[in-house]
Structure 1
Amino acid sequence: MGGQEEAGAPSAGKKQQKSSKEVYFCVLPDKYEPLIEEEREETEEERKKRKEEKKNKRKKRYKKYRKNVGKALSFSWRCLLAGLQSMASTYSTPLSAMATVVTEVDRASSSRA
C-alpha cells in the first residue's frame, strides 16, 4: 500500500523539475488598432454627484437595517415580557390552586390534539 502512494503522487519532499513552455507568436494585421481607453479627468461636479449618490444609497440601506433590527428587538422584548409575566403569575399563585390550573391546562391541550 505504501508503495502505491509514492508512485501515484510526488512526495512533498521532492521539488518538481523546471520545464519550458511553448509560446506562440503571431503577426498582427496592418489594420490592427489597439484598444486604448481614453483617460478623462473627473470634474468636481461629477465627483460631488457620485458622492451624494453613494451617501443616499448608504442611508437607504441603513434605514432598512434599522427598521428590521427595531422589529426584531420589539418582538424579543414582547416575548421576554410575556415570559416574565407568566413566570410571575406562576410564583404568585398558591400551590393548591396551581395544581388545579395545571391539570385543566393539560386536559385542554390534550383535547385539541
Structure 2
Amino acid sequence: MGGQEQEEPVAPSAGKKQQKTSKEVYFCVLPDKYEPLIEEEETEETEEERKKRKEEKKNKRKKRYKKYRKNVGKALRFSWRCLLAGLHNMASTYSTPLSAMATVVTEVNRA
C-alpha cells in the first residue's frame, strides 16, 4: 500500500535496461620528474604538399592499371591463339575427304 510502492517503467525500451554501476578509479602520486607525453599536432598541409601527395597517388594508380592492362592483354592474346588453333584444326578436319579421314583416324588410334 503506501510504504512499498514500486514504480513501473512507463515506456520499456527494447531489451532489458542496463543497471547503473560505478567504476573504480585509481589514483597515484606522480614522481617529481614526470614529463607528460605531448603528441605533435598535425599542422595544416599547404596546397603544394596536397597537390604533390595527390600526384603521387595518381602515378601509383596509373602504374598499377598499366600492369593490369599488360597482363590482361597477354591472357587475351594467348586465348585468341588457342581459339584460332582449334578453329584451324577443326576446319582442316572438315575439309579433308572422308577416305583420308579414315586413314588419319586409324593412325591416331595406333599411336
Is the structural similarity TM-score above 0.5? yes
Higher helix content, 1 or 2 = 1
Structure 1: 5+ residue stretches without partners: 106-110
Q: How many residues align?
A: 108
Q: Percent identity?
A: 93
Cα deviation for residue 32 of structure 1 reads 2.9
Q: Which has the larger radius of gyration?
A: 2
Does 87-96 or 71-80 show the bigger shift? 87-96
Relative to structure 1, the CA distance from residue 94 to residue 24 in structure 2 (aligned partners, 3 Å threshold; closer, same or farther) is farther
Relative to structure 1, the CA distance from residue 34 to residue 95 in structure 2 (aligned partners, 3 Å threshold; closer, same or farther) is farther
Describe the superposition over 1:48-81 as per-residue Cα deviations: whole angstroms up to 9, x where unpaired.
1100000011111110000000000000000001
Provide the secondary structure at the position in 2 that maps to 1:7. coil
Cα deviation for residue 2 of structure 1 reads 49
Structure 2: 5+ residue stretches without partners: none
Describe the superposition over 1:63-101 as per-residue Cα deviations: whole angstroms up to 9, x where unpaired.
000000000000000000100111111111122211111
Describe the superposition over 1:13-41 as per-residue Cα deviations: whole angstroms up to 9, x where unpaired.
99999999987654443333333322231
TM-score, with structure 1 as normaliser: 0.65
TM-score, with structure 2 as normaliser: 0.66
